[in-house]
Amino acid sequence: MGSVDHFAYPGDGEGPLRRVELSAFAIDVHAVSNEDFAAFVANTGYRTESEALGWSFVFAGLLPDDHPPTRAAADAPWWRQVEGASWRSPEGPGSGIADRLDHPVVHVSWHDAAAYARWAGKSLPSEAQWERAARGGLELQPYPWGDQLTPDGEHRMNVWQGVFPTENSLDDGWYATCPVDSYEPNGFGLYNMTGNVWEWCRDWFDIFHEPSPSLDPAGPPDGDLKVLKGGSFLCHESYCLRYRTAARQGLTPDSATSNTGFRCVRAPGR
């Protein structure tokens, strides 16, 4: 697990490189889709935290030019507070998911993701499980397919190209999310382990990691932030080179945005 210093953001706690042993586990081939989440909601009547709160953060570039002014995040003004935004209406009232049922569900908090996982008889992955799966059997490589961002000029994930946040050249074919099974899978047959949407993990976030070998690490027993992995369609090398297997960030478990989703794991035989 982890990365060497020249890849790491100091505040993210990617290092040190460390060897981890994991018990066998099964992981979803792709992120939970809108269709998957809709089945959960239909079965349980679950309301997400964004629905209960009445708003969520939406990337400003997804809003129409005539969208009324709304509060922006202080340190990231491309995030806008949009009343009525939720997994059902990703850009607020008037938007919907009918034409993107195969896209990853977004505007889900860690609590929402954990509720879905319990319903499905699964759990959220530990950070170690997620990173092992993302690496696809490779070691010491930044991407699930190797060490080149675009091998032979081929895009392998959905991230921002151009000048963030004002210009996206769409070289990879997408402005926002793409279907959960887009691009080539990694060596384990898993799709979009990097790019598209950040994915919630089970662990609390900490920047300290035990450098000695460990078995089934689970992170600290408590904290204020939960780990997310993989980067998203908004990641760009100018400010967020986190579309790598070792990259990570922490968010409060009640956070929900238009670029955050999840996938689940379970033990074999369950």
Give the CA radius of gyration of the chain.
18
Cα-flanking dihedrals φ and ψ of residue 77, to 5°?
-65, -10
Closest CA to 81 of 105, 54, 101: 54
**How much is the average pLDDT of 212-219?**
92
The model's pLDDT over 40-75, given as tens digits with 9 standing for 90+, comes to 999 999 999 999 999 999 999 999 888 888 888 878
Asked if the peptide bond before residue 64 counts as cis, ω within 30 degrees of 0, the response is no
Express each pLDDT in 231-259 by its tens digit.
Answer: 999 999 998 999 999 999 999 999 999 99
Q: Is the pTM above the cut of 0.85?
A: yes
With cut-offs at 50, 70 and 90, classify the pLDDT of residue 7.
low
Predicted confidence at residue 86, as pLDDT, reads 98
Q: 141-175 pLDDT, tens per residue? A: 999 999 999 999 999 999 999 999 999 999 999 99
For residue 149, give Cα distances in angstroms to 23, 144, 193.
30, 10, 14
CATH class of 20-62+76-270: alpha beta
> Would you say 179 and 103 are in contact if contact means Cβ atoms under 8 Å apart?
yes
* Domain parsing of the chain, residue ranges: 20-62+76-270
